[in-house]
Amino acid sequence: MKSAFSFARTIGTLAALLTTAAIAFSPMEASAQDTSIDLNKWSPDYVRSIAGTAKFDTAGDCSKVVPLDYKGKLSVWWTGPNDASPDIERTINDQFWAAWKAAYPNIETDAQNVNYNVLLDKFRTALLGNAAPMVVRLQILGGVEFAAKGYLHQINPEDVGYAKADFWPGALKSVTWEGKTYGIPTNNETMALIWNAKIFKDAGLDPENPPATWDDLVAYSKQIHDRLGIPGYGLVARQNAGNTPFRFMPQLWAYGGGALDEATDSPNYKTVMLNTPAAKRALQASYNMYVRDKSVPVSALTNTQNENQAPFIAGKLAMVIAHPSEYAKMMDLSAKATGADKKIAEEVVANMRYGLIPKGPARRAVVFGGSNIHIVKDEYVDGGQDEMAAKALVCFWTSPEWSTKLAWTGSNPGNLKGFRTEWMKERLDSIRFLDVTTSMLPSGIPFPVIPEAPEIMNIIVPDMLQNALTGAMTVDAAADDAAGKVEDLLGGF
């Protein structure tokens, strides 16, 4: 199997990057390529069949939007790689900025990598002081809040050289407010259930088959804990952290609940569903694991997925929900381990398995996550907006090439044509289990597309979990309290 790190070696220098980016096609050649995507055929086999079937010239395409000799200034905030990221993500991030500088050498760029859990609050504060960056890439639930408040420029895919059909409908939905579009998707995330096959076997479970339902997951977690004395499932319930709703909402939706009616075919975002019987059953399942069975980490109340990585690589945690990048991260940790720890880590990596997130009584669900890139209005930008420079970066970032490369280990390209690139083929060939998380995309449900979504997801939902798991409230009372807070937040409709 080809190593994911071969990508870093093959284009590890700027010269190689420029060689790759410089592949050009005549209009006749370009028009002859079938770059369309048929979402009705979506499956791991279909994704593999189209990977590597088209080539794109990023600099050439973006030059049609903004000339490559354009001179200007640009400031951008985004959440990039951190200490918990696989090394390959940091390498590709550096390559992106090198390619950007090579393509647009006369755009002076100030790029700030801002921590995921800090970005929204920092951006809110900057806007109030008219000190925001020209461009910001936000997690998928963040953009509508700022669009509704009038902070963001309206921008359509066509404004940066693409078509609406080049993006998932659910992704465009996340940047649409009152019928207008205020951002472009950069990447789309779906997760999967990850388990340690050896732990399953040692606990008397089928090592090659994950729990089929959420009720099964609760039972598996208990059996693992009772027989082996280690946590079965890496529950995440930290307050004011995006990791929490990304792992609890699939459970809530699977049982038939929701924050509002976002999981229905035609949501109106006016029906609160946090205290429905189905939602309470989902919350009860988490309560059962944390309080009744004690089959999840005691530290779940303060954990993000990052805190689950150490016990997982040590063979002390059986199941987590995470991205395909988790495998790359475990490879990194295994390579850095020494002595007896290295043997254990290598065994864990060999026994890592990925499967679909369990079903519930209502559906199988996963958060349709990812990020979108936005252009901030001139009056809120420190030093004023350079719209041409901003559009150049948006075009570059959302291209088939870079929306694929920048999503290398943990996500999917926001631009659907990225699935046709040679880099998508290399990802599928080199990243184990990528096809599993990609196959979860049709089960994706976006967070409610309303300005209040960040507070609902990052504050109210985690607080509901905390109230139930700590015993501050009963499950029923915690759900009712959360529903009441959502109704108050939305003005009682």
Please state which CATH number belongs to domain 5-190+368-441: 3.40.190.10
pLDDT digits (tens, 9 = 90+) for 117-150: 899 999 999 999 999 999 999 998 789 999 999 9
Q: Which two tokens stand for residue 291?
A: 């309080």
Phi/psi at 492 (nearest 5 deg)?
65, 15
User: What pLDDT was estimated at residue 150?
Assistant: 96
Look at residue 492 in the predicted model and tell me its pLDDT. Answer: 63
- Helix, strand, or coil (residue 122): helix
DSSP string spanning 186-209?
EEEE--EEEEEHHHHHHTTS-TT-
The pLDDT tens digits of the residues spanning 10-32 come to 333 323 322 233 322 222 233 34
Q: What is the pLDDT of residue 437?
A: 86
Question: What region does 471 belong to: left with phi over 0, alpha with psi -120 to 50, or beta?
Answer: left
pLDDT value for 64: 98
What is the rounded end-to-end Cα distance, in angstroms, of the chain?
A: 55
Distance CA 79, CA 398 (A): 15
pLDDT at 323: 87
Domain spans in the chain, listed from the N-terminal domain onward: 5-190+368-441, 192-366+452-489
pLDDT of residue 8: 33
What residues in the chain have per-residue pLDDT under 50?
1-32
Q: What is the pLDDT of residue 6?
A: 33
Element (H, E) at 375: strand 369-375
Confidence at residue 165, expressed as pLDDT on a 0 to 100 scale: 94
Q: What is the pLDDT of residue 187?
A: 95
The pLDDT score that the predictor gives to residue 400 is 98
Question: What is the predicted pLDDT for the residue at 34?
Answer: 63
Residues 403, 409, 412: CA angle, nearest 5 degrees: 40
What pLDDT, on a 0 to 100 scale, did the predictor assign at position 142? 85
Three-state secondary-structure class, residue 164:
helix
pLDDT for position 11: 31
Are 441 and 42 in contact, with CB atoms under 8 Å apart? yes
pLDDT at 409: 83
Q: 5-190+368-441 and 192-366+452-489 share one CATH topology?
A: yes
Looking at residue 434, its pLDDT comes to 87
Question: What is the CATH code of the structural domain delimited by 192-366+452-489?
Answer: 3.40.190.10
137-186 confidence digits (pLDDT tens): 999 878 999 999 999 999 999 999 999 999 998 899 889 999 899 999 99
Report the alpha-carbon distance of residue 477 to residue 467 in Å, rounded.
9
The average confidence (pLDDT) of the chain is 90
The reported pLDDT for the residue numbered 46 is: 92
Q: Across the chain, how many H-helices and E-strands are there?
A: 23, 13
